[in-house]
Amino acid sequence: MLILGIETSCDETAVALVEDGCLLGQKLATQVDTHALFGGVVPEIASREHLRVLPRLYKELLRETGVAAENLDGVAVARGPGLLGSLLVGVSFAKGLSLAFDTNLIGVNHLWAHLLAPGLEGGLRFPALGLLVSGGHTHIYLISSPTEFELLGRTLDDAAGEAFDKTAKMLNFPYPGGRFIDDLAQEAEPDTELFPRPYIDNPTLDFSFSGLKTAVANHVAAHPELVFETMAGSEAVEKLPAERRKALAKVCASFNWSVADTLRIKVERALKRVDHVESLIVAGGVAANTGVRAAMAGVAEANGLRLTLPGLSLCTDNGAMIAYAGWQLAKAGFRHGLDLEAIPRGRIVPLDWERVAPAPR
Ligand code: KG4
Ligand code: ZN
């Protein structure tokens, strides 16, 4: 079964082809440099960029893989959650292809796709506990199968990635700044008293990172020497005097520890609440974070679980994860009609498939 995947939910335009669960090829164009100038994604610009770039990526992908569009068994598209205007570009393109080539249309929940992505690199084991930590979401799911997700906990305000990005912005790193904090955090031991682990003194599996953001803001206000005068990339870090670099690294390591340990606490709590699970799947852009990866490795080991972490290129938004999730859905007999809706951030993605007979095994 040959599935094309299309991703346009935020600031990455991406397409990929998956055949029977294996990646045939993918193309990706990131807008990160464009939005970095504005300190965050500008929705209007993002939509226009998707519109400009998507047809070219699609054509290149088919040419490079030698696949004829007539042979597609389905077109899978990220239908939300995301930026509405951006999603509409991908969804409309997918509908056009589905009509033109009389092939199945499969709307994919972008968040599920992140968590299924490591399936491209090896077998996923279910039931699984899934932690999705991205720029827009911090969700804990019980995943019974590739098409059955139960949301157990979510962030009430900022997502983990947002906390990284806002902290980075306070220090004057470009957007998205998570990786700058991660890199500097490697150079110091965390001060575990410096910042709180937010929203842990309650029985819930939900997150709230806004308190941590405020604590960082207060610390930075009291130590203005930590902030770069102009927007700083890796080169500016290299030029920092040793003492200043050490102090900044300490802040980054301490902040990173607070986030990673908060995630650890809630994931361990979730594991106590669910019946037996086989594996822990961690996905989304923040799953690239060294501290988060280490914390989750510790949880998996302590609980005798297989840890499934996508490789770094599969952590951030990509087309391969959409094609792979679409393949899982198509295989299980799910598809959508041409009335498929794009779902903006903040709205629950509905389970509004049409069922057809599952593909024979
Ligand atoms: O999953 P993703 O590509 O986008 C969404 O769908 O939201 O995740 C992007 C997020 C950004 O907030 C970025 O700063 C963060 O992932 N990120 C990191 C790292 N690499 C990317 N955060 C912390 N440490 C990293 N190494
Ligand atoms: Zn994403």
341 C-alpha to ligand 1 centroid (Å): 26
Please work out whether the CB of residue 81 comes within 6 Å of at least one atom of ligand 1.
Answer: no
Only one residue has tokens 């779902």, namely 343
What secondary structure does DSSP assign to 67-108, as a single string?
Answer: --GGG-SEEEEEEESB-HHHHHHHHHHHHHHHHHTT-EEEEE
pLDDT for 172 equals 94
| CA separation, residue 120 to residues 75, 141, 220, 292, 300 (Å) | 18, 20, 41, 21, 20
Q: Are residues 150 and 26 in the same domain?
A: no
pLDDT for 36 equals 81
Q: Which of 79, 286, 290, 309 for a ligand 1 pocket mutation test, highest count of atoms within 8 Å of Cβ?
A: 286
pLDDT averaged over the chain? 95
What is the spatial distance between Cα 62 and Cα 169, in angstroms, rounded to a whole number?
39
The CATH number for 52's domain is 3.30.420.40
What is the spatial distance between Cα 105 and Cα 330, in angstroms, rounded to a whole number?
9
| CA separation, residue 211 to residues 111, 133, 137, 229, 260 (Å) | 25, 18, 17, 25, 15
> Which numbered ligand comes closest to the C-alpha of 180?
1
Q: Which residues contact 206 (CB under 8 A, 6 or more apart)?
A: 153, 154, 155, 156, 199, 266
> Which numbered ligand comes closest to the C-alpha of 7?
2
Please work out whether the CB of residue 158 comes within 6 Å of at least one atom of ligand 1.
Answer: no
In a domain, 361, yes or no: no
Q: Which residues contact 208 (CB under 8 A, 6 or more apart)?
A: 155, 156, 157, 158, 198, 199
Q: Which residue has the higher pLDDT, 305 or 239?
A: 305
Q: Are residues 305 and 320 in the same domain?
A: no
- Sorting pLDDT into bands at 50, 70 and 90, what band is 360? low
Q: Are residues 112 and 139 in the same domain?
A: no
- Domain range for 42 is 2-119+316-355
Does residue 1 surpass a pLDDT of 90?
A: yes
What's the whole-number mean pLDDT along residues 14-27? 98
Does residue 283 surpass a pLDDT of 70?
A: yes
Q: Are residues 217 and 322 in the same domain?
A: no
Please work out whether the CB of residue 134 comes within 6 Å of at least one atom of ligand 1.
Answer: yes
pLDDT for 35 equals 83
In a domain, 103, yes or no: yes
Query: At 40, which amino acid appears?
Result: G
What is the spatial distance between Cα 137 and Cα 155, in angstroms, rounded to a whole number?
7
- Please choose, from the candidates 42, 168, 25, 112, the residue with its C-alpha nearest in 3D space to the C-alpha of residue 322: 112
Does residue 41 surpass a pLDDT of 90?
A: no
In a domain, 263, yes or no: yes
Answer positive or negative: Cα dihedral of 8, 113, 117, 260: positive
Residue with the smallest CA separation from ligand 1 atom 7 is 135
Residue with the smallest CA separation from ligand 1 atom 20 is 179
Q: Where does residue 346 rank: exposed (0-12), middle (13-18), buried (19+ CB within 10 A)?
A: exposed
Q: Are residues 301 and 324 in the same domain?
A: no
Does residue 39 surpass a pLDDT of 80?
A: no
> Which numbered ligand comes closest to the C-alpha of 294?
1
What's the whole-number mean pLDDT along residues 182-196? 98
Please say whether the beta carbons of 76 and 9 come within 8 A.
no
Please work out whether the CB of residue 138 comes within 6 Å of at least one atom of ligand 1.
Answer: no
In a domain, 158, yes or no: yes
Only one residue has tokens 């629950």, namely 348
Does residue 116 surpass a pLDDT of 90?
A: yes
Does residue 16 surpass a pLDDT of 70?
A: yes
Q: Are residues 126 and 110 in the same domain?
A: no
Q: Are residues 97 and 164 in the same domain?
A: no
Which atom of ligand 1 has the smallest separation from the CA of 137? 7
In a domain, 53, yes or no: yes
- Please choose, from the candidates 273, 241, 259, the residue with its C-alpha nearest in 3D space to the C-alpha of residue 127: 273
Q: Are residues 239 and 189 in the same domain?
A: yes
Give the chain's domain count.
2
What's the whole-number mean pLDDT along residues 326-350? 96
Which atom of ligand 1 has the smallest separation from the CA of 160? 12
> Which numbered ligand comes closest to the C-alpha of 169?
1
pLDDT for 113 equals 97
pLDDT for 32 equals 86
What's the whole-number mean pLDDT along residues 278-298? 96
- Sorting pLDDT into bands at 50, 70 and 90, what band is 236? confident
pLDDT for 286 equals 95
What secondary structure does DSSP assign to 111-136, as a single string?
Answer: HHHHHHGGGGGS---SSEEEEEE-SS
Task: List the single range of 275-279, 284-288, 311-315 with lowest mean pLDDT.
Answer: 311-315
288 C-alpha to ligand 1 centroid (Å): 7
- Between strands 306-308 and 334-335, the pairing is unpaired
In a domain, 351, yes or no: yes
- Between strands 306-308 and 279-283, the pairing is parallel
Please work out whether the CB of residue 291 comes within 6 Å of at least one atom of ligand 1.
Answer: no
Q: Are residues 264 and 168 in the same domain?
A: yes
Please tell me the pTM assigned to this model: 0.93
Tell which of 309, 330, 345 closes a domain. 309
In a domain, 360, yes or no: no
pLDDT for 37 equals 79
Residue with the smallest CA separation from ligand 1 atom 16 is 285
Q: Are residues 112 and 132 in the same domain?
A: no
% of residues, the chain, pLDDT over 90: 88
Q: Are residues 136 and 237 in the same domain?
A: yes
Q: Which of 316, 321, 322 for a ligand 1 pocket mutation test, highest count of atoms within 8 Å of Cβ?
A: 316
In a domain, 39, yes or no: yes
pLDDT for 143 equals 98
pLDDT for 188 equals 98
pLDDT per residue as tens digits for the range 146-166: 999 999 999 999 999 999 999
Q: Are residues 22 and 166 in the same domain?
A: no
What is the spatial distance between Cα 83 and Cα 344, in angstroms, rounded to a whole number?
6
Residue with the smallest CA separation from ligand 1 atom 8 is 285
Q: Where are the beta strands (DSSP E) in the chain?
A: 2-7, 12-19, 22-30, 74-80, 104-109, 128-133, 138-145, 148-154, 279-283, 306-308, 334-335, 354-355
pLDDT per residue as tens digits for the range 203-224: 999 999 999 999 999 999 999 9
